[in-house]
Structure 1
Amino acid sequence: MDWLVIAGTALTVVGLGLLGYCIFSAVQVKRSDLDDETMRANLQKIVAVNMGALFLSVLGLMIVVVGVMLG
């Protein structure tokens, strides 16, 4: 079941990379001089990506645990 551990690790790394992207994007939006409506719209898009990234990370970690338990 090594392939499950490798696939889960890859999925987790992708999720963590997306989380880093969300942090970087949110800091950029906060530092920019945008009006309240535009900033809120941009941050809502980032929150959607953030939720997807968290889902990928959790799914990857679950796959790793299953692979370790089966292997």
Structure 2
Amino acid sequence: MSVFETMIWAGAAVTLAGLAALIWCIFTVARARRQGLDDEALRLKMRSVLAVNMAALAASALGLIAVVTGIILAP
């Protein structure tokens, strides 16, 4: 397996991990909204999910960058 293939597969794994974290964020906020929390409690829950959401977006973007770079540089 070449370095470029490794870069592609590692980037795909990081992208999928980021996507899984994004899906977790969506379900967590949807569950909190269904619970009928008051405005302050819902705001507090969403604030805790925000950090995970931003990290998941960054991981997905970096993974996609690795995949595209591996594809472009592969011989």
TM-score, with normalisation over the residues of structure 1? 0.95
Aligned to 1:33, what secondary structure does the other structure show? coil
Distance 2:39 2:32 in 1: 11
Q: Which one of the candidate residues 9, 12, 18 is aligned to 1:9?
A: 12
Residue 48 in structure 1 maps to residue 51 in structure 2:
yes
Runs of 4+ in 1 over 3 A off after TM superposition: none
Deviation at 1:69, TM superposition (A): 1.1
Aligned residues: 71
CA–CA separation in structure 2 for the residues paired with 1:41 and 1:49: 14
With normalisation by structure 2, the TM-score equals: 0.90
Report matched runs for 1:1-71 at 5 Å: 1-71=4-74
Identity over aligned pairs, percent? 42
Q: In structure 1, the residue corresponding to 2:62 is in which secondary structure?
A: helix
For 2:47, the aligned partner's letter is Q
- Structure 1 vs Structure 2 CA RMSD: 0.7
Distance 1:23 1:34 in 2: 16
